[in-house]
Amino acid sequence: MRDEPDPRMLRLMDLKPYEVIIVRCRCGCSVDYMPGVLQRLHRVPSDTLIFDLQFRLRCSSCRAFRDFEITVRDVRNIGDNAKPCPERVIVPKGG
């Protein structure tokens, strides 16, 4: 077994300041949520599981309320093409 915790148990308050939640809809719409945005603008409690966001969000483009892909991306290396920006999949596509 790996020592990494299950990504489905990751809460909003567990994110580092350099991590961004990316929600992608099946219609192609993609929204990046910086740390604290969901808590301030959408009044989502900090102890909410990121996995549970799939049941709370709605696409602003097609109004879908399911079939989102949710990932957490480390954005420390944005702009540096030599270094990757690792992503952790919380909810896979169609999941």
pLDDT truncated to tens, each residue of the chain (95 aa)? 455 678 889 999 999 999 999 999 999 999 999 999 999 988 999 999 999 999 999 999 999 988 899 999 998 888 777 778 888 999 998 76
| Contact (Cβ atoms closer than 8 angstroms) between residue 18 and residue 54 | no
> Among positive and negative, which fits the CA dihedral 2, 75, 12, 59?
negative
Which pLDDT does position 30 carry in this prediction? 95
| Contact (Cβ atoms closer than 8 angstroms) between residue 81 and residue 47 | no
Which pLDDT does position 7 carry in this prediction? 82
Largest CA distance in the chain: 40
Which pLDDT does position 95 carry in this prediction? 60
Question: What does pTM read for this prediction?
Answer: 0.85
Which pLDDT does position 83 carry in this prediction? 79
Q: Where are the beta strands (DSSP E) in 7-82?
A: 19-24, 30-33, 69-74
**Alpha carbon distances (Å) from 74 to 41, 45, 57, 65:** 22, 22, 22, 26
Q: Which residues contact 2 (CB under 8 A, 6 or more apart)?
A: none
